[in-house]
Amino acid sequence: MEPRFKHRVEGFPVMDDICLALNSKPVIVILSISAAIRGLFQFALLPNSPSVFGPDEGTYALLAKYVSEGLPVEEFPAYGPKLYNSAKSITLPSAFLIKLGLEELTAVRTIA
């Protein structure tokens, strides 16, 4: 069987490991099952309000909505700019999804 990922990246041996893993059927099966379970939790089992599974998700959802509206993060009522600076990797993509029409809590859960 011919491997799907034939490219080698000089100086990045981790890429070789990733390509090898993505050629493995058990890894693909595990990733698929994980994605299916996450989708089930995301859209069917979790409530439409912040849950005990992620106690901070409500605050992140409010911050993402705040950022999506173009309001200054320095004036965010809960934590000011500290939370924004420490959670940009969740906040910015979530704000983008909110602008596309997703609810803020769903956007934060999707990115997280």
pLDDT tens for each residue of 8-18: 556 667 777 77
d(CA 65, CA 16): 39
- 7-to-12, 15, 19 alpha-carbon distances in Å: 11, 9, 8
Predicted pLDDT at 95: 92
Please report, as a single letter, which amino acid is at residue 16. D
Predicted pLDDT at 98: 92
What global pTM score does this model have?
A: 0.60
d(CA 105, CA 65): 9
The terminus-to-terminus CA distance of the chain in angstroms comes to 36
